[in-house]
Every structure is written in structure tokens, then in C-alpha cells.
Amino acid sequence: MSPRIAGATAWRVLAQLRRDPRTIALLLVVPPLLITLLRYVFAGDEAGFDRVAGPLVGIFPFTTMFIVTSIAMLRERTSGTLERLLTMPMAKLDLLAGYALAFALVAAAQASLTAAVAFGLLDLDVAGSTALVVALAVANAILGMALGLFVSAFATTEFQAVQFMPALVLPQLLLCGLFVPREDMSAGLEAASNALPLTYAFDALQRVTVGGALGGRGALDVAVIAGVTLLALALGAATLRRRTG
């Protein structure tokens, strides 16, 4: 593992993103706009808005980084640059760390802007610290990045890669407890939600936004998020093959 190579890779990924201002605009503008839309959807129901929008600030980066990373890594694979990098003195971890660093920075910008709009302009009220919500958003973004990186190995075209979002992220969103509390779900669905990483991301966010603090259970959620991130990165690294047929 080389900080020089990981840093250079993060810089390169950000330089590529800079060449695509429309994507940057979409990344930064869409989540605040969606939260704003939600504010009007809930109209007079401020408690409802607080309950849903608080955790959503921390979940948007998860979904966007999942898509962005799976496409970026797919391009790296199909353009031959991945094979070139793997014939150079570069550890797989350098590449993964570079991506993680670059997209964590993007996620931090995205989450901060979304939080500034939600808390500053839309009077979103949460019980706990808003900084903690942003920190969890960044952790969730890295989780989304790690999962996106792993699943990119199973896509051969960009059409396939974008379909992984509805296929793998939406079910997690439906089951995580945002729409219906998990304890009200059937036993089977609740068990399924226990196996999905977004459940823990949502639980941690809900503890901060509604409960006011992470607490022991919330710390456990964070540990699960970190564990799944590391597992996904390890699985992702295993899909980066130096030798292929």
C-alpha cells in the first residue's frame, strides 16, 4: 500500500470528474432539490418532514456513490486502464483507497450542501447533532462506493450497471424502516432487513435524528457499516484480476 499512489489516484479520479461539470452539478444539486420537494410534499406536516428528511440527508450519498462508483469502475475495466494499472507496481488496495478518498470528498461536499439547505433553509429539525448526520452520510457514501465497486465486476455494460441501483439499492430502501417501521413488518421481511446494510445505516441516522444520540446500539450500527464496507472492498479487490483468460 502506497499513500503516493492512492493519493495520485484520488486526484486523478477528481480530475476526471472535473471534466464533467454536469455530473458535478447533478451530484450537488439533486439531493438538496429532492429534500426541498419533500418539504412541500409534507406541506403542513412538519413532524412528518423531520422524521423522513433527517435520515434521508444521510442516505442520498449512499445511493449516488453506489451508482457513480459502479460506472466509474466499469469504465476503468472496459477502457483497459485497469489492466494497465495492474501491470504497474500498484497494489489493488492503492486503487481502492484512491477511489474511496475521492468519492468520500465528493460525498462530504454533497452531504454538507444537502444538510445546509435542509437545516438552514427548510427548518429541518433533528434531535441530535447535524454534524453527526453529515459524518454518517459520508460513512454511508463510502459503504455505497464499496458496494458499487464490488457489483461493477458483474456488469459488462453501463446499461447493466445502472440497473443495479433499482435491483440492489431500492429493496434496501423499502425494507430499512423508512417507509414502515421494521417491527411492523412480517417476520420474514424483518429478518431480510436484518441482513441488509442500509438497515443499519438508517437505524444509526434515526437514532441521531429522532433519539438525539447514537448510543450503544447506534455505535453497533456504525461498526456493522464499517464491517460491511471492508468486506465489500475485500470482495471488490478479489474481482480485480491481474491475470485473466
Query: Does 21 contact other proteins by CB under 8 A?
Result: no
CA 209 vs CA 7, 96, 137, 169, 174: distances in Å: 34, 31, 12, 22, 19
Length of the chain: 245
- Nearest distance, CB of residue 245 and other proteins, angstroms: 5
Site for other proteins in 225-244 (CB under 8 A): 242-244
For residue 165, what is its C-alpha cell? 441501483
Among 1, 20, 48, 191, indicate the residue that binds other proteins (CB under 8 A).
Answer: 20
Cβ 201 vs Cβ 54: under 8 Å = no
**Does the protein bind other proteins through residue 157 (CB under 8 A)?**
no
Q: Which residues fall within 8 angstroms of residue 188, CB to CB, at 6 or more apart?
A: none
User: Between residues 85 and 97, which has the closer beta carbon with respect to other proteins?
Assistant: 85
Closest distance of CB 16 from other proteins, Å: 5
How many Cβ atoms sit within 10 Å of the Cβ of residue 101?
18
Name the phi and psi angles at 161, rounded to 5: -60, -40
153 binds other proteins, rule: CB under 8 A: no
User: CB of residue 31 vs other proteins: minimum separation in angstroms?
Assistant: 24
Compute the C-alpha angle 112/46/33, nearest 5°: 40
Size of the site for other proteins (CB under 8 A): 25
Give, as ranges, the residues between 78 and 97 that touch other proteins (CB under 8 A). 79-81, 83-90
Residues contributing to the site for other proteins (CB under 8 A): 4-5, 8-9, 11-12, 15-16, 19-20, 79-81, 83-90, 242-245
